[in-house]
Structure 1
Amino acid sequence: MAVQTLESLYSEHHHWLQSWIRSRLNNVEQAQDLTQETFIKVLIKGREHEFNSPKAYLSSIARGLLVDFFRRRTVEQAYLDALEVQPEQHILSAEEHHLIIDTLLQIEHMLDTMSERGRQIFLLAQLDGLTFAEIGRQLNVSVTTVRKHFIRAMTQCLLLIED
């Protein structure tokens, strides 16, 4: 194993990494951005790194960034699709749009961290407007169980608001 500085890692693998990302995105500018983000993450982790395979290390970081990129793009497209069917409202600034997308991503992450039953109960209560008794009947669980899962979900929501 060899210790490699960020400078040598960048100079030796920047072009390869950008090509690797571009082949997955088919967009040069986004590939450039994600390549830079990858090296920023490397920089944040520390100046020198010891590893067997720099390409595996860099592609692992870039893969995580690509997942985040595609997730954000999916959420953003779903938001834009939902806006299209709504009555016309005032035009959002780029900052407002960005804040809404970030909030939706945080909500998606919060829902992903819930148990399957907790997520079902939360969504049935919040989106479908069902009472705890109705949810309990539908899921064949007690009202106490519904209440317990709903309280956990709302606690996660409150923690999200505090951030």
Structure 2
Amino acid sequence: MSLHETDSIVSLDNLYGTHRGWLLGWLRRSLGCSQHAADLVQDTFLRLLVRDQPISARAPRALLVRIARGLVVDHWRRDALERAYLDALVQMPEASHPSPEVRHEALQCLERIAQLLDGLKPAVREAFLLYQLGDLSHVQVAQQLGVSSRTVERHVASALLHCYKACFETPQ
């Protein structure tokens, strides 16, 4: 965000003191849980702290909402992943259940994968997942999606490149 010469900036302390209560109420209504809302309020202000950029006083609530919405989406995605993972565990024999540490690591990996795939177009993501997880060939994926095999090859290559860049390139 670039500030125009006429824009004033607000300190993080001032923003926190002025808008923390409002943000907490907004998140509490969105999530239906006071504890999660309080956590996300802190995470929102932490994001502002670590981004180390001036904060415009022109629309501070819009900035807070934009950051908080992203955190809410992340929260819901984590929650859905955890439920799906725990549902899958229920299907396994109890003797095969992983330790709590392994479960935690697996959930973190699943969350990272979900974040990587979020940046893909839906058609690319679907082709990639069918190919990688569905154990289908390019031709089988193409038939299922109603596209050409060459399109599936491009989608899979695009998804792999996207994931590679997200994992190994440093932000500029």
User: Normalization by structure 2: what TM-score?
Assistant: 0.74
The Cα shift of 1:144 comes to: 4.6
Question: Which residue of 2 is the match for residue 125 of structure 1?
Answer: 131
Question: Which residue of 2 is the match for residue 75 of structure 1?
Answer: 81
Distance change (3 Å), C-alpha of 1:5 and 1:87: same
Equivalent positions of 1:70-109 (< 5 A) are 70-88=76-94, 89-93=96-100, 95-109=101-115
Equivalent positions of 1:14-163 (< 5 A) are 14-46=20-52, 48-88=54-94, 89-93=96-100, 95-139=101-145, 143-156=149-162
Does structure 2 retain, via aligned residues, the 8 Å contact 1:6–1:47?
Answer: no
The Cα shift of 1:130 comes to: 2.5
Does structure 1 retain, via aligned residues, the 8 Å contact 2:44–2:71?
Answer: yes
The Cα shift of 1:145 comes to: 4.5
The Cα shift of 1:121 comes to: 3.4
User: Normalization by structure 1: what TM-score?
Assistant: 0.77
Identity of aligned residues (%): 37
The one-letter amino acid of 2:38's match is Q
| Total equivalences in the alignment | 162
Q: Flag structure 2 segments of 5+ consecutive residues without an equivalent.
A: 1-6
Question: Which residue of 2 is the match for residue 6 of structure 1?
Answer: 12
Q: Flag structure 1 segments of 5+ consecutive residues without an equivalent.
A: none
Structure 1 residues 64-96: Cα deviation after superposition (integer angstroms, max 9, x where no partner): 111111111111111111111122224422x43
Does structure 1 retain, via aligned residues, the 8 Å contact 2:89–2:97?
Answer: no
Root-mean-square deviation over aligned CA pairs: 2.8
The Cα shift of 1:51 comes to: 2.5
The one-letter amino acid of 1:75's match is L
